[in-house]
């Protein structure tokens, strides 16, 4: 079930009504019901993978308890590595097996050996990277004595499978989500209203911005040889808006939905395209994944404690793994490495924490210097997105080569007549304007109480009508479902 | 507090959707007032009135619609000397199932028709694209009866169609739509281009013909026949001519149609190879106005 489907439009109010109406008196019933709704939500894609989700949940629940009750350090280690091994193993089989088999065969053939490995015809279970990371963080936290294992199977299962975050995050932590699941929740009118606003904005970002940009991006990236350098450059820019609108739109709908149930999820995006340097960008982009890697990989590897060389090594590892997390393709690894190269000067020079606060805080406009910094950061981010979007490394390099020709200085032209370019550009400008105004808030449509009634409702209605008029209605999955 | 939230959300929802419905109805009223005839639009709701009686109906995909497009409607009416309604839908807008819906809608408005020419283009029964097309109602009026009737209709891509149906009424293309006064489609082919035919076939079928889809479509055809019979209309199934003759799924469709002929007591005619003259076509399977005139006079007239 997609967030941008009519099915969800029926599912959400129904779950909301039963959750608060029928089960309001019992936390146990509420959690059990939310879990059942979450499993139904997941089963709408492919009910067979529900068993994999349940197995993964059961495994981490059981090994968590076993680690706690282990009488020796050895047993504790055994249960820990069993859980890690099986979790990573599943991820490896479903997501990476074919990549390694093909890459290894390719490597051997480079040395003159012919090797044939079996490749598997596997379907990637939706959300496997996300729920596996939920489970991993839980098991690691228990092993490191940061948390106690959860003894209630329903509560734990809900932590892993809670439907707003199940298929594309944010990647939650037991320390943040489990206490909320275990605590009696009271309906909060203000938060619920704000949740609806966040859903509205998320939907706008997905169906209006991302899906309309996708129409151009697909045409351009599928036939780069037919376009000028300037059009290809614009294609990369539009992909930047597509992926941001898609993923942050999904996250907004997830967070907004969760607020309706009285549960706050981790913020996943913090206006990344207003970043003044690449380090700031990574503090604002897919925050729940970045912080996961920071806490469970970067810091255990020594973080920034062991001098400049170790910092450089660890940063490269983090970006390499982050790229690989996105998919079994060399393009993602190249994207990760490129970002590591971008961030490296600030790591070495210790300037990576220069821009911690929001740009032009409390002001309407940034300074010219800040604006230039933002544009440069956005430009290099767009350049890296080319690797992320291309189907393979050859295509990415060929795309880049075609950008840097004399045609880069011509007016971009599209062969697509699916959607008016002018309308798209106006919508992107409107989108950027609202994001700029709301950049200090949790989400762009978080409106102050003091805002004029008419202005507020005109804006809501405008966004609603924009979705109705220009929203893409064909079934388009969220990009991050594939990760 | 939750009561307040629910009530306020409902009120906002009703107001927003209420305004939306008003806008949809208003744009439709505006377009309807321009006055369209069957030959001047691809829309069915713009031409299906209430409590009317017709002698003949054409239904199917573009090959049925072609008997009305380009001013052909009046030509065919004059040759056959019959009052005709055409509910066929071209442009990849719909397949068997939505044709059933249109037929249902036609009868539900108290209309009657004596004979239905069901133009059974073979790929209509095997296409994987037609049942999932979302542009089905782009040319239709926003009409509450039509809308509600489709909501309760069993369709494979219902919700996407409904959303696009509403959305299309907010686009300038709809608001600016005008009656098409073109009289006659005069373009014609000189010879058969087999490479173009091969490419076209591949576009329609992909690599293989989907037999599972064909089985589903057969059920749809039977439903259409039942619906027509229930309303005392006589069905004549017709495989239309194509310059290349037979479509790849020709035999499948002919076998099915012949079985239906015996089982349901309907008529069936295979005219696939009846017109093999390039000058009667504007592409390899759509006849131009001269072709329509010729085919109607020589092949359809004797059927009535």
CATH of the domain at B60: 3.40.50.1110
Name the residue with higher pLDDT: A192 or A305.
Answer: A192
Domain that holds residue A438: 190-276+355-482
Q: Are residues A164 and A30 in the same domain?
A: yes
Last residue of a domain, one of A186, A206, A231: A186
Tell whether A474 is within 8 A of chain B (Cβ). Answer: yes
Q: Which of A6, A192, A461 sits opposite B16 (nearest CB)?
A: A461
- Range scoring the smallest mean pLDDT among A65-69, A289-293, A354-358: A354-358
Residue A93 three-state SS: helix
Burial A5-26 (b: 16+ CB within 10 A, else e): beebeebbeebbebbbeebbee
Tell whether A196 is within 8 A of chain B (Cβ). Answer: yes
Return the structure tokens found at A267.
């913020």
Return the structure tokens found at A449.
């109480």
* Residue B159 located in a structural domain: no
Say how far apart CA B116 and CA A166 lie, in whole Å.
Answer: 52
Last residue of a domain, one of A161, A186, A211: A186
Q: Are residues A262 and A161 in the same domain?
A: no
Q: Under a CB-based contact definition with an 8 Å cutoff, are residues B119 and B238 in contact?
A: yes
Q: Are residues A87 and A210 in the same domain?
A: no
Min CA distance, A470 vs chain B (Å)?
8
* Residue B156 located in a structural domain: no
> Does residue A335 surpass a pLDDT of 90?
yes
User: Hey, what's the torsion of the CAs at A322, A323, A324, A329, to 10 degrees?
Assistant: 170
Instruction: Kindly tell me the burial class for residue B152, based on how many C-beta atoms sit within 10 Å of its own C-beta (0-12, 13-18, 19 or more).
Output: exposed
Q: Are residues A450 and A373 in the same domain?
A: yes
DSSP character for A471? Answer: -
Domain that holds residue B126: 37-133+180-303
Closest CA to B104 of B141, B150, B42: B150
* Residue A285 located in a structural domain: no
- Cα Rg of chain A, angstroms: 23
* Residue B145 located in a structural domain: no
**CB distance A473–B163 less than 8 Å?**
yes
* Residue A315 located in a structural domain: no
- Band of residue A100 on the pLDDT scale cut at 50, 70, 90: low
For residue A329, give Cα distances in angstroms to A357, A482, B91.
35, 12, 39
**What pLDDT sits at residue B206?**
64
Question: Which residue in B5, B16, B175 has the most chain A C-beta atoms within 10 A of its own C-beta, making it the best mutation to test that interface?
Answer: B5
Tell whether B1 is within 8 A of chain A (Cβ). Answer: yes
Q: Are residues A69 and A181 in the same domain?
A: yes
Q: Are residues A155 and A222 in the same domain?
A: no
Q: Are residues A110 and A257 in the same domain?
A: no
Q: Are residues A101 and A229 in the same domain?
A: no
Tell whether B166 is within 8 A of chain A (Cβ). Answer: yes
Closest CA to A192 of A19, A65, A55, A331: A19
Q: Are residues A74 and A207 in the same domain?
A: no
* Residue B147 located in a structural domain: no
* Residue B22 located in a structural domain: no
For residue A126, give Cα distances in angstroms to A45, A371, A453, B202.
8, 39, 41, 32
Question: Which residue in A10, A458, A473 has the most chain B C-beta atoms within 10 A of its own C-beta, making it the best mutation to test that interface?
Answer: A473
**What pLDDT sits at residue B281?**
93
**What pLDDT sits at residue A23?**
67
**What pLDDT sits at residue B181?**
87
Instruction: Kindly tell me the burial class for residue A86, based on how many C-beta atoms sit within 10 Å of its own C-beta (0-12, 13-18, 19 or more).
Output: middle
- Band of residue A373 on the pLDDT scale cut at 50, 70, 90: very high
Q: Are residues A26 and A75 in the same domain?
A: yes
- Cα Rg of chain B, angstroms: 20
Q: Are residues A178 and A209 in the same domain?
A: no
* Residue B162 located in a structural domain: no
User: Hey, what's the torsion of the CAs at A300, A304, A305, A306, to 10 degrees?
Assistant: 100
Which whole number is the average pLDDT over A309-325?
89
**Chain B residue closest in CA terms to A464:** B16
Catalytic residue list of A: 326
* Residue A340 located in a structural domain: no
- Range scoring the smallest mean pLDDT among A317-326, A410-419, B154-163, B230-239: A410-419
As for how many domains chain A has, the answer is 2
As for how many domains chain B has, the answer is 1
**What pLDDT sits at residue A385?**
95
Min CA distance, B73 vs chain A (Å)?
31
Last residue of a domain, one of A186, A212, A227: A186
Which whole number is the average pLDDT over A368-373?
94
Name the residue with higher pLDDT: A362 or B259.
Answer: B259
- Band of residue A251 on the pLDDT scale cut at 50, 70, 90: very high
- List chain B residues with pLDDT less than 70: 205-207
- Band of residue A483 on the pLDDT scale cut at 50, 70, 90: very low
Residues 14-53 of B with CB under 8 A from A: 16, 19-20
Tell whether B163 is within 8 A of chain A (Cβ). Answer: yes
* Residue A255 located in a structural domain: yes
Which whole number is the average pLDDT over A4-23?
88
Which whole number is the average pLDDT over A117-132?
72
**What pLDDT sits at residue A97?**
67
- Per mean pLDDT, which of A117-121, A219-223, B102-106, B205-209 is the most reliable? B102-106
Min CA distance, B23 vs chain A (Å)?
11
Which whole number is the average pLDDT over A397-406?
92
> Does residue A418 surpass a pLDDT of 70?
no
> Does residue A65 surpass a pLDDT of 80?
yes
DSSP for chain B?
-HHHHHHHHHHHHHHHHHHHHHHHHHHHHHHHTT---GGG-S-STTT--SS-EEEEEEEESHHHHTTTGGGHHHHHHHHHT--EEE----TT---HHHHHHHHHHHHHTT-EEEEEEEE--GGGGT-SSGGG-S-TTTTS---HHHHHHHHTS--TTHHHHHHHHHHHTTSHHHHT-------------SS--HHHHHHHHHHHH-SS--HHHHHHHHHHHHHHHHHHHHTTPEEEEEEPP-TT---TTHHHHHHHHHHHHHHH--EEEE-TTS---GGGBSSSS-B-HHHHHHHIIIIIGGG-
Min CA distance, A441 vs chain B (Å)?
23
Tell whether B258 is within 8 A of chain A (Cβ). Answer: no
- Range scoring the smallest mean pLDDT among A296-305, A331-340, A376-385: A296-305
* Residue B67 located in a structural domain: yes
* Residue A307 located in a structural domain: no
A173-200 confidence digits (pLDDT tens): 999 999 999 998 989 999 999 999 999 9
ipTM tops 0.90: no
**CB distance A192–B5 less than 8 Å?**
yes
A263-280 confidence digits (pLDDT tens): 999 999 999 999 999 999
* Residue B94 located in a structural domain: yes
* Residue A392 located in a structural domain: yes
């Amino acid at each position: 079930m997609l967030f941008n489907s009519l099915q969800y439009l029926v599912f959400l109010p129904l779950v909301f009504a039963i959750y608060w109406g029928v089960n309001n008196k019992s936390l146990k019933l509420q959690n059990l019901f939310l879990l059942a709704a979450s499993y139904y939500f997941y089963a709408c894609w492919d009910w067979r993978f529900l068993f994999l989700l349940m197995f993964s949940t059961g495994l981490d629940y059981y090994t968590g308890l076993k680690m706690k009750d282990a009488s020796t350090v050895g047993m504790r280690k055994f249960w820990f590595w069993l859980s890690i091994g099986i979790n990573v193993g599943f991820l490896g089989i479903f997501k990476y097996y074919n990549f390694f088999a093909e890459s290894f065969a390719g490597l051997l053939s480079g040395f003159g050996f012919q090797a044939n490995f079996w490749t598997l015809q596997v379907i990637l279970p939706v959300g496997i990277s996300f729920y596996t990371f939920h489970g991993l963080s839980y098991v690691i936290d228990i092993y490191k004595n940061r948390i106690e294992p959860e003894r209630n199977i329903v509560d734990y299962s809900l932590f892993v499978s809670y439907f707003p975050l199940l298929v594309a995050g944010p990647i939650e932590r037991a320390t943040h989500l489990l206490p909320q699941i275990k605590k009696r929740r009271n309906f909060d009118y203000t938060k619920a209203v704000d949740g609806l606003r966040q859903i509205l904005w998320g939907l706008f970002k997905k169906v209006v911005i991302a899906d309309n940009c996708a129409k151009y991006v697909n045409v351009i990236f599928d036939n780069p040889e037919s376009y000028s350098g300037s059009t290809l450059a614009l294609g990369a820019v539009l992909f930047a808006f597509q992926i941001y609108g898609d993923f942050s739109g999904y996250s907004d709908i997830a967070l907004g939905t969760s607020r309706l149930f009285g549960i706050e999820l981790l913020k996943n995006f913090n206006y990344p395209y207003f970043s003044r340097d690449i380090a700031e960008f990574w503090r604002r982009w897919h925050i729940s994944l970045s912080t996961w890697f920071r806490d469970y990989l970067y810091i255990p590897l020594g973080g920034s404690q062991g001098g400049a060389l170790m910092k450089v090594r660890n940063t490269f590892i983090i970006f390499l793994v982050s790229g690989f997390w996105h998919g079994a393709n060399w393009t993602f690894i190249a994207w990760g490495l490129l970002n590591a190269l971008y961030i490296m000067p600030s790591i070495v020079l210790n300037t990576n924490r220069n821009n911690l606060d929001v740009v032009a805080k409390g002001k309407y406009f940034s300074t010219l210097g800040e604006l230039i910094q933002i544009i440069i950061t956005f430009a290099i981010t767009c350049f890296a997105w080319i690797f992320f979007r291309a189907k393979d490394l050859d295509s990415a390099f060929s795309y880049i080569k075609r950008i840097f020709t004399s045609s880069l200085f011509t007016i971009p032209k599209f062969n697509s007549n699916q959607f008016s370019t002018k309308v798209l550009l106006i919508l992107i400008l409107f989108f950027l304007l609202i994001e700029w105004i709301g950049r200090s808030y949790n989400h762009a449509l978080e409106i102050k109480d003091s805002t004029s009634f008419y202005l507020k409702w005109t804006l809501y209605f405008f966004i609603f009508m924009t979705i109705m008029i220009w929203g893409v209605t064909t079934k388009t999955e969220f990009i991050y479902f594939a990760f | 507090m939750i009561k307040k939230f629910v009530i306020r959300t409902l009120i906002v929802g009703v107001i927003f959707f209420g305004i939306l419905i008003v806008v949809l109805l208003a744009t439709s009223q505006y377009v309807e007032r321009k006055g369209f005839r069957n030959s001047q639009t691809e829309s069915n709701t713009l031409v299906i009135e209430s409590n009317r009686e017709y002698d003949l109906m054409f239904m199917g995909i573009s090959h049925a619609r072609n008997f009305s497009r380009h001013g052909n409607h009046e030509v065919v009416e004059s040759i056959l000397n019959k009052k005709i309604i055409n509910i066929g839908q071209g442009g990849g807008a719909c397949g068997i199932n939505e044709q059933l819906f249109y037929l249902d809608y036609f009868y539900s408005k108290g209309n009657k028709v004596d004979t239905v020419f069901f133009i059974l283009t073979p790929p209509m029964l095997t296409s994987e694209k037609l049942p999932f097309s979302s542009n089905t109602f782009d040319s239709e009026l926003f009409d509450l009866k039509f809308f509600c009737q489709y909501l309760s209709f069993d369709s494979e891509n219902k919700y996407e169609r409904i959303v696009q149906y509403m959305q299309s009424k907010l686009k300038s293309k709809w608001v600016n739509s005008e009656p098409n006064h073109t009289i006659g489609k005069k373009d014609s082919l000189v010879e058969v281009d087999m490479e173009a035919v091969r490419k076209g076939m591949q576009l329609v079928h992909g690599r293989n013909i989907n037999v599972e889809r064909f089985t589903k479509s057969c059920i749809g055809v039977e439903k259409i026949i039942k619906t027509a019979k229930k309303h005392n209309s006589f069905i004549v199934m017709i495989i239309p001519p194509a310059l290349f003759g037979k479509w790849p799924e020709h035999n499948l469709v002919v076998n099915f149609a012949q079985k239906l002929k015996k089982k349901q007591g309907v008529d069936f005619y295979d005219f696939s190879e009846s017109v093999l003259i390039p000058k009667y076509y504007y592409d390899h399977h759509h006849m131009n106005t001269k072709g329509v005139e010729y085919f109607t006079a020589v092949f359809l007239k004797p059927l009535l």
